[in-house]
Structure 1
Amino acid sequence: MELIAVILGATLLTAVLVPISLPYLRKLKFGQFVRDDGPQSHLIKTGTPTMGGLIFMLVIILIGGIMAMRTPVILPVLLVSVGFAVIGFIDDYIKVVKKRSLGLKAYQKLLAQLIITGGFLAFLYGNAVDVTTLIVPFIRGGSLDLGWLYIPFIIVFMLGTVNGVNLTDGIDGLATSVTIAVLTFFLVMDLIVGSQLAPLIGVAIGALLGFLIYNSHPAALFMGDTGSLALGGLVAATAIYMKLPIIILFIGVIYLIEVISVMLQVAYYKKTKKRLFKMAPIHHHFELMGWKETKIVYVFTIITIMMCLISYIGIIVHFGL
């Protein structure tokens, strides 16, 4: 009952804060800079307020921080999300002030992300039990002890997930909808794994539901890197803390496909000087094929929900429930 109240409270608070904040974001000219080499339909979005991630992160920090007083275990995961939000905010701010489509340089963003990941790893090694052991779904009692390989694995996993969510945030409501489905899966998993992260996950789901009201097509507000990096950090840290990073291959399949599509596009172009996709990340490929933004969001979200259901079966098998 308390969890439901938390979700509803976060939803309502975000839904109220967004329209209050929009005039200030417009006044500060925090408008989206749209790439001129992207889909032409996106040019009308130029000037749409961005950095909306500040709003739902404020709700997550406020309510999540209060919940952390009673459940301290959620604090490290919350701090990881906040850390990535700060990186995203700096990146967004540079884009807005300089009126550029690119913010922080790649090495600056990578270094900052490595610092946050390193801090989370230090916490895990100092506080977690069997820190290097991961749950293997679909195998009863299956586990994998990575030993010293755990550190490079987590670094790659954290950076891949965070930037996967970031790449998914390219059309109205896509990253928001997909991430709500992913976090809902983790909320159910909390009841099985017993991570005690449910209050934080519930707050995040509620905040995103409230944000989606204004972020769905046609979006009145974008989350920006402030929001997408924060959500990526939250998803990755939650999966790691629950010892479920392997499950991201399933529930985070959209994030994975978005990343792979960019990598393939770059590699193929360097080799052939031709494009493998009409445009990457892959959601833009479907746009240029004639798919409407709403259709892409529906299809990608349904795929995520289906993979979450399959993953749920995998966890049931693992625990023999």
Structure 2
Amino acid sequence: MFYNFLYPLADLFSPFNLFRYLTFRSIAAFLTALVLSFLIGGALIRWLRSKQKQGQPIRDDGPASHLMTKKGTPTMGGLLILITLSVATLLWADLTNRYVWIVLGVTLAFGAVGFWDDFLKVTKRNTKGVPGKIKLALTVAASGIAVYLIAQASPAPLRYQLAVPFLKDVLIPLGIVGFIAFGVLVIAGTSNAVNLTDGLDGLAIGPVIMASAVFGLIAYVVGNSILTNYLYLHHVPRSGELAVLLAALVGAGLGFLWFNAPPAMVFMGDTGSLAIGGALGAVAVVTKHEIVLSIVGGLFVLETVSVIVQVLSYRWTGKRVFRMAPLHHHFEQKGWAEPTIVFRFWIIAAILAMAGLATLKLR
């Protein structure tokens, strides 16, 4: 909003010229989301606690320690992320940019599905929430609409194409159906992968912050023709504006982590995990870095694979590969302390984030 209203007045007041720079607006969006989180976080948590007398229902089949240490903690803390992310993005992004509206729309749509799920869990006092098939159908539908809109906004040479990292000028034509199906897999899959990772205090939000920072840089580079020519990347005009949204997500994530650090004052819930996972997936589709997302978000992939392996192994052989899935619960059952798991998983996420960032230069 500031860009659209104040930058045109730069001839009258030269300091307004700052609003033309993505770097300035990205930093401003980061600080806005972070400070706003600190300002409203406490009040929002108190309101959630007043509405959720018993807090988030805890799984009976989960680690026994959770029934003691996490009982009574409110959920739906993802609202803090959604509010601060949305406000910061609307204030500092170019509101004529279609990519911004598409990614923000995906984020809020997935957040709405997650809010419904959390609401049912809290009001019905069980851990099931929205039936899995309905939740999957809603996220797939939202992802499909988003991918189609992204394709229409993309330059014609890149439309319905899959870019391959490490290789120069290699594009795999998928066709409209194949591209939409693949894009849905990326967005909905990332959303659910982050949701599976969100099981310990601070576990999911840390890697999300790292992945958001990396993809903020990727968006900035891919949207800059000079940098894409230098790095032999595919140029997606105007995608750089997503750096503002992702900077806001980093700020919102850090603000949420302030309250979610062990012992958590609030849980993210599906309201947050589905939303921020969907946002990362949508940005990856816009920037043609879907495969790189599987590297940057490799921790989410590991968590998801652990669940798939556990289910298939038990179904086919009657035996479990892990003591409990997702993977972080396996280490809990082995006796690792919760902060130990969180910090070690963060280290893994940081290594994977840097590995994914390195793909920008490996051509």
TM bracket, shorter-chain basis = over 0.9
Paired residue for 2:174?
Answer: 146
Which of 54, 60, 63 is equivalent to 2:88? 63
Q: What's the Cα RMSD here?
A: 1.5
For 1:12, the aligned partner's letter is V
In the alignment of these two chains, the number of paired residues is 318
Alignment partners' CA distance in 2, 1:21 and 1:201: 23
Larger radius of gyration: 2
Bigger relative contact order (CA 8 A; separation at least 6): 1
CA contact (8 A) 2:85 2:252 kept: yes
For 1:41, the aligned partner's letter is S
Alignment partners' CA distance in 2, 1:309 and 1:23: 37
Which of 35, 43, 53 is equivalent to 2:59? 35
Which of 185, 193, 216 is equivalent to 2:261? 216
Instruction: Extract unaligned runs of 5+ from structure 1.
Output: none
SS of the equivalent of 1:173 reads coil
TM-score between the two structures when normalised by the length of structure 2: 0.84
Which of 135, 150, 170 is equivalent to 1:124? 150
Instruction: Extract unaligned runs of 5+ from structure 2.
Output: 1-23, 224-238
Which of 189, 209, 214 is equivalent to 1:180? 209
Corresponding position: 1:200 with 2:245:
yes
CA contact (8 A) 2:102 2:150 kept: no
For 2:344, the aligned partner's letter is V
Which of 9, 13, 34 is equivalent to 1:11? 34
Moved more, 176-185 or 25-34: 25-34
Paired residue for 2:8?
Answer: none
Alignment partners' CA distance in 2, 1:238 and 1:212: 22
CA positional deviation for 1:70: 5.5
Paired residue for 2:316?
Answer: 271
Corresponding position: 1:296 with 2:322:
no
CA positional deviation for 1:260: 0.9
Moved more, 222-231 or 113-122: 113-122
SS of the equivalent of 2:361 reads helix
For 1:262, the aligned partner's letter is V
Alignment partners' CA distance in 2, 1:155 and 1:173: 27
Which of 248, 263, 271 is equivalent to 1:226? 271
Query: Equivalent residues in 2 for 1:247-266 (5 A)?
Result: 247-266=292-311
Corresponding position: 1:22 with 2:45:
yes
Alignment partners' CA distance in 2, 1:274 and 1:137: 37
Alignment partners' CA distance in 1, 2:320 and 2:25: 51
For 2:123, the aligned partner's letter is V
Alignment partners' CA distance in 2, 1:292 and 1:97: 31
| 61 and 102 in structure 1: CA distance in 2 versus 1, 3 angstrom threshold | same
CA positional deviation for 1:72: 4.5
Paired residue for 1:49?
Answer: 74
Paired residue for 2:102?
Answer: 76
CA contact (8 A) 1:247 1:311 kept: yes
Alignment partners' CA distance in 1, 2:319 and 2:146: 40
SS of the equivalent of 1:134 reads strand
